[in-house]
A and B are shown apart, each in its own frame.
Chain A
Amino acid sequence: MFLINCPYCGERDQSEFSCGGEAHIVRPKQPTELSDDQWAEYLFMRKNIKGVQFERWNHAHGCRKWFNMVRDTSNDKIHAVYKMGEKPPVE
């Protein structure tokens, strides 16, 4: 059960949050111009890394804001949280 530092609210219990999968996958601006393969790449393909991963999280039972998190999936260490639109911290 993590403690997550919501960039808007501060440290809160994990039960207030939900995870939205891999971060920094931008929805294509012109989907109609993509091939089936390119669209499938956006739609279905996720890395699911063992190790440091960039993730989207939502403070669902709090401020309802989405933000990004850098988490090591092998030991659940959270290295950073940052707001949507902000650059990920350089590793």
Chain B
Amino acid sequence: MTKYRVNKTKHVDQTKTVSFDFDGKSYHGFEGDTLASALLSNGVHLVGRSFKYHRPRGIMSCGSEEPNAICQINEDTNLTEPNVRATEIELYEGLKASSQNCWPSVNFDIGGINNFISPFIPAGFYYKTFMWPKSFWKKIYEPLIRWSAGLGKSPTKPDPELYDHKHVHCDVLIIGGGISGIIASKIAAKKNLKTILIEDKNILGGSTIFQKNENYKINDKYSGEWIDEEIAELKKLDNLTIKTRTSLAAYHSYNYLLAKENISDHLPLDKRNGGIRQRLWKIRADKVIVATGAIERPLVFNNNDRPGIMLSNSVKKYLDFYGVSCGFNNVIFTNNDSAYETAVSLKEKGISVEIIDIRTKSNSKIVKNAEQLGVKIYWNSTVVNTFGLRKINSVEIMNLSEDGSNIVGDKNRINCDCLAISGGWTPMVHMHTQSGGKLDFREIDQTFIPNEIDKNHINVGSCNGDFELEEIINNTNKKVKNFLKVSETEFDNISVLNSKELDKRNIWLLPNFISESKCKSFIDFQNDSTAKDIKLALREGFKSIEHVKRYTTTGMATDQGKLSNMHALGIIADTAGVKMGTLGTTTFRPPFTPLTFGAIVGRSVDNFFDIIRKTSIHEWHIQNKAKFENVGQWKRPWYYPINDEGLHDAVQRESKAARDSVGILDASTLGKIDIQGTDASEFLNRVYTNAWSKLGIGKCRYGLMLNEDGMVYDDGVTTRLGENHYLMTTTTGGAANVLSKLEDYLQTEWPELDVYLTSVTDHYSTASICGPNSRKILKKIFPDKDFSDDAFPHMSYQNCKIDEINCRIMRISFTGELSYEINIESKYGKSLWEKCIEAGKEFKITPYGTETMHLLRAEKGFIIVGQDTDGTMTPIDLQMDWIVSKKKYDFIGKRSLYRSDTIRDDRKQLVGLITDDPNEILEEGAQIVSDMSKKPIEMIGHVTSSYFSPNLNKSIALAVVKSGKKMNGQKLIVPMENKNINVTVSDSVFLDKENKRINA
């Protein structure tokens, strides 16, 4: 046993030694320790350097509010994790932890130089620095910030562990397993409500569990013993689920909460067995009882950040729960009664302790108890300075003036190796405010307490501002009874012995004889902001707490200001001379404590990251070595390389084959919407720009759909299958949006129309066969069918059969070639495809992917919505005036086509571009200019599609250019990084302007 392990407790098993590494040195602790308690038991206080000044910092607390003891664990493995609080992580065999932010070591830290130049790092330093001369920035400040910045390292390898999500519903959720949470759980579960209790520690009982003091008794038992019995009974209740090691991350509206359960974080690495590491619980609770407790406040005085300065209640917990004394020569510095519990506990174990109290007296029993035990108390005194480089060795104290605003008398030096501070308590109202709850300010002890209006949640215990044992038990009982409509409980007639008083003397910034500008009175320990910074921000004109917070970075570190927010507010109120309650508080946002990315994403990684949609022909594509492209959620063949062909060569070959002989494309992914109803034609009239009423049954028509603002939204071919029956196709990526847009109009604007929409995208597979030999293949597959132009003209469809299977053949073309699309029920898609390949062998049928499809349509000047359009293009901009009906009274977007903005003739318009050098391929997205001499050079457009056309043997491009319509033949420039490319504006149809090939 190390010399600091002075006490045996039932929470730490001192027969089970656990070895661990901290900063490369080996230590021993015991099962039940946290990393922090194990370090303290070895006398290690110094665990890191502060963020800005690199001052030595020690363990300060025992919970999630810890600002200093932030570690990197298991460094150099793919399990490494930064920003782990040593006070929260349970010790396990082989744990390797290291301090963050202290190169080369905690004991010798070069960044400590910041401390000496600190007068130059005032509030808003990071903002102000940017305004300084450039030379200062590069040589001095950037390296300096780079040194200082960054808390920890993120892992560089993929996370090998499993994470899980689970949804759960319950009648009552209780957050926090301290005394009030336990009382609430018992009442709820006994009322037969489905109850869940979550607690972030590994055991229940909160701070009551280690209470063994004559002054605090429940039903004549020590409160610690009483709660043990309660917990034992609680565990027997059937309809109560207790989740320990589970911390609430977020409390959203309508009682939707997220909690993270640590499942294997406390186990040695070799015992984790690849199971789930953390689980994110998604809880929907009918009622929520918040019992998250309170955090002890530090005090703000000069040099209040040395290692060995700790929160008073934490010192008590290390002693009574972990059996570790943080020092042998303790001084307690307090403004309230609660710190006397620590003093009594230390003294009872024979450990030296003295008390410095800001107040002039206190009459409570616990104070009397301390006095009787012989604890020396310095009343009406304050600490004005502390000493000790790597650990505190003494404090200097002075008396306070009557009003507390100044110091009087002489300095008095007291030696110590631990200074336990207590500035009173701050209710943890984070959960209450996250849920949308408001706060009230309580003047007597300067706290914000929940103002409950929401009928579906309550706050109980010290998070509700009840700090006295009697108050906690009785108020919790009363509130929970009311909330859950219970008439009587076992807690109704309980006898509680109480010893504290709420009274305290609150001084946010303790006075000093040293001038304020020379004091290092820290408020935010993790971000190194001092009282001076806050005052400077106020002098510079910042008034809102939200602004002061950002300007000084107070409360913006990983602890989210759990220890600092109240002091920042208090000092602002004092300095500005306003009442603290009028300032409001900063907004508490989720997560309460940092969440791992693993817990957030759960199983949604790799193949489960997003839905992957595959066509029924997918396997064939894989067997034939297709490279795939993601289009929305679809996997589409991009190109089919032969041997070691690259993209360019494959696409040139495929494109040539499709025009010279025959190509085949899997077009199954195009959106397909089945439209039926007596008003189907009228409906299409309203949603497309062109007219539909006269389209004959069995005919196909290309349609363009606009948004109400007149901009092109989607396009596709729609086929009239029957009098009141159409099949609409949409772009692959737009299918879902088009359907919901059409549903929207049908349901909300035109409910009188008799029209029904059904998505049938997945119902059919589509093989698109294109090229001069396509008709011959169709004839082989459907020998009985007449494919002559007269019998089966372009833009028409026919029902056919392969064996006994129905299919629809549309003669439509997106390439300008003679082309057929065969649609068949999806389950037959692959056999249809294979049949086509087989039949096409003698014509060297060539499968082609999306890239070739894009090239072929570009040769014909056909647009792709989303590539050549970007939501700012009207059909007129696209030179597609021919498709906009002049006769129709109305269609979606019609009125917008002659707004003052859309009729401008200097809008960007679609044109073709031909490079002067036919082998120069433009980059898609490249900017276009006309005049390089006038600065700044005006960009008049950009390239939207660009390819080398093997059929024209030259480079072609589509582009949108301001006033492009009038520019045919004009020379323009596409400036690139290394050269300017000369181009000529052309018609956007490059190949077969007369449309001869379609009927070839």
Partners in one complex: yes
Chain A contact residues, CB within 8 Å of chain B:
1-3, 13, 20, 26-27, 30-32, 34, 36, 39-40, 43, 56, 58, 60, 64-66, 75-76, 84-85
| Cα distance, A36 to B896, chains bound together (Å) | 8
Contact between B890 and A32 (Cβ–Cβ < 8 Å)? yes
Q: Chain A residues near B740: list those with CB within 8 A.
A: 58, 60, 64
Contact between A66 and B744 (Cβ–Cβ < 8 Å)? yes
Digit string of B864-903 for contact with A (CB within 8 Å is 1, else 0)?
0000000000000000000000000110001110011000
| Cα distance, A26 to B748, chains bound together (Å) | 9
Closest 6 CB pairs of A and B: A31-B895, A1-B256, A66-B747, A1-B252, A76-B253, A3-B254
Given A39-B899, A43-B709, is A31 in contact with B748 using a C-beta cutoff of 8 Å? Answer: no
> Any chain A CB within 8 A of the CB of B436?
yes
Having A3-B284, A39-B895, A84-B747, one finds 18 other A-B pairs with CB under 8 Å, namely: A2-B254, A3-B256, A20-B744, A31-B894, A32-B889, A32-B895, A34-B895, A36-B900, A39-B896, A58-B740, A58-B743, A64-B743, A65-B747, A66-B747, A66-B748, A75-B253, A75-B436, A84-B751
Q: Chain A residues near B899: list those with CB within 8 A.
A: 36, 39-40
- B210: shortest Cβ distance to chain A, in Å? 37
Q: Chain A residues near B889: list those with CB within 8 A.
A: 32
Contact between B749 and A27 (Cβ–Cβ < 8 Å)? yes
Contact between B744 and A76 (Cβ–Cβ < 8 Å)? no
Given A1-B254, A1-B256, A3-B254, is A56 in contact with B894 using a C-beta cutoff of 8 Å? Answer: no
Q: Chain A residues near B748: list those with CB within 8 A.
A: 56, 66, 84
List B residues 704-724 near A (Cβ within 8 Å).
Answer: 708-709
In the complex, how many residue pairs between chain A and chain B have their CB atoms under 8 Å apart?
Answer: 53
Contact between A2 and B253 (Cβ–Cβ < 8 Å)? yes
| Cα distance, A29 to B278, chains bound together (Å) | 56
Contact between A43 and B896 (Cβ–Cβ < 8 Å)? yes
| Cα distance, A2 to B284, chains bound together (Å) | 10
Which of the listed residues A2, A26, A31 has the most CB atoms from chain B within 10 Å of its own CB? Answer: A31
Given A32-B894, A36-B900, is A43 in contact with B751 using a C-beta cutoff of 8 Å? Answer: no
Chain B residue nearest to A33 (CB atoms) is B895
- A89: shortest Cβ distance to chain B, in Å? 18
Q: Chain B residues near A34: list those with CB within 8 A.
A: 895
11 sampled A-B residue pairs with Cβ under 8 A: A2-B253, A13-B284, A26-B749, A27-B708, A32-B890, A36-B900, A39-B895, A39-B896, A43-B708, A64-B740, A76-B253
| Cα distance, A58 to B896, chains bound together (Å) | 26
Which of the listed residues A20, A40, A43 has the most CB atoms from chain B within 10 Å of its own CB? Answer: A43
List B residues 735-761 near A (Cβ within 8 Å).
Answer: 740, 743-744, 747-749, 751
Digit string of B261-302 for contact with A (CB within 8 Å is 1, else 0)?
000000000000000000000001000000000000000000
- B163: shortest Cβ distance to chain A, in Å? 19
Chain B residue nearest to A27 (CB atoms) is B749
Q: Chain A residues near B252: list those with CB within 8 A.
A: 1
| Cα distance, A34 to B896, chains bound together (Å) | 11
| Cα distance, A30 to B894, chains bound together (Å) | 11
| Cα distance, A3 to B252, chains bound together (Å) | 11
Chain B residue nearest to A76 (CB atoms) is B253
| Cα distance, A60 to B737, chains bound together (Å) | 11
- B516: shortest Cβ distance to chain A, in Å? 41
| Cα distance, A58 to B746, chains bound together (Å) | 13
Q: Chain A residues near B894: list those with CB within 8 A.
A: 31-32
| Cα distance, A65 to B899, chains bound together (Å) | 32
Chain A residue nearest to B258 (CB atoms) is A1
| Cα distance, A40 to B898, chains bound together (Å) | 12
- B432: shortest Cβ distance to chain A, in Å? 14
| Cα distance, A34 to B744, chains bound together (Å) | 23
- A63: shortest Cβ distance to chain B, in Å? 11
Given A75-B436, A76-B436, is A58 in contact with B253 using a C-beta cutoff of 8 Å? Answer: no
Chain B residue nearest to A56 (CB atoms) is B748
Q: Chain B residues near A3: list those with CB within 8 A.
A: 254, 256, 284
Which of the listed residues A1, A64, A84, A85 has the most CB atoms from chain B within 10 Å of its own CB? Answer: A1
- A88: shortest Cβ distance to chain B, in Å? 14
| Cα distance, A13 to B932, chains bound together (Å) | 57
| Cα distance, A1 to B256, chains bound together (Å) | 6
Q: Chain B residues near A39: list those with CB within 8 A.
A: 895-896, 899
Contact between B744 and A58 (Cβ–Cβ < 8 Å)? yes
Given A1-B254, A2-B254, is A85 in contact with B751 using a C-beta cutoff of 8 Å? Answer: yes
Q: Chain B residues near A64: list those with CB within 8 A.
A: 740, 743
Chain B residue nearest to A85 (CB atoms) is B751
- B888: shortest Cβ distance to chain A, in Å? 10
Chain A residue nearest to B889 (CB atoms) is A32
- A85: shortest Cβ distance to chain B, in Å? 6
Chain A residue nearest to B751 (CB atoms) is A85
| Cα distance, A60 to B894, chains bound together (Å) | 27
- B739: shortest Cβ distance to chain A, in Å? 9
Q: Chain A residues near B896: list those with CB within 8 A.
A: 39, 43
List B residues 665-715 near A (Cβ within 8 Å).
Answer: 708-709
Chain A residue nearest to B282 (CB atoms) is A1
Chain B residue nearest to A4 (CB atoms) is B254
- A74: shortest Cβ distance to chain B, in Å? 9
Q: Which of B253, B436, B747 contacts A1 (CB 8 A)?
A: B253
Contact between A66 and B254 (Cβ–Cβ < 8 Å)? no
Digit string of B468-479 for contact with A (CB within 8 Å is 1, else 0)?
000000000000
- A70: shortest Cβ distance to chain B, in Å? 16
Which of the listed residues B252, B744, B748 has the most CB atoms from chain A within 10 Å of its own CB? Answer: B748
| Cα distance, A1 to B747, chains bound together (Å) | 26
Q: Chain B residues near A85: list those with CB within 8 A.
A: 751
Q: Chain A residues near B708: list those with CB within 8 A.
A: 27, 43
List B residues 634-649 near A (Cβ within 8 Å).
Answer: none
Q: Chain B residues near A60: list those with CB within 8 A.
A: 740
Given A36-B900, A39-B895, A58-B744, is A31 in contact with B890 using a C-beta cutoff of 8 Å? Answer: yes
Chain A residue nearest to B900 (CB atoms) is A36
- A59: shortest Cβ distance to chain B, in Å? 11
Chain B residue nearest to A34 (CB atoms) is B895
Q: Chain B residues near A26: list those with CB within 8 A.
A: 749
| Cα distance, A13 to B284, chains bound together (Å) | 10
- B288: shortest Cβ distance to chain A, in Å? 14
Contact between A66 and B890 (Cβ–Cβ < 8 Å)? no
Q: Chain B residues near A65: list those with CB within 8 A.
A: 747
- B72: shortest Cβ distance to chain A, in Å? 34
Chain B residue nearest to A1 (CB atoms) is B256
Q: Which of A36, A40, A66 contacts B743 (CB 8 A)?
A: A66
Chain B residue nearest to A44 (CB atoms) is B709
- A14: shortest Cβ distance to chain B, in Å? 8
| Cα distance, A40 to B744, chains bound together (Å) | 20
- B275: shortest Cβ distance to chain A, in Å? 28
| Cα distance, A58 to B743, chains bound together (Å) | 10
| Cα distance, A56 to B747, chains bound together (Å) | 12
- B546: shortest Cβ distance to chain A, in Å? 18
Which of the listed residues B252, B253, B743, B751 has the most CB atoms from chain A within 10 Å of its own CB? Answer: B253
Chain B residue nearest to A23 (CB atoms) is B748
Q: Chain B residues near A84: list those with CB within 8 A.
A: 747-748, 751
| Cα distance, A20 to B741, chains bound together (Å) | 11
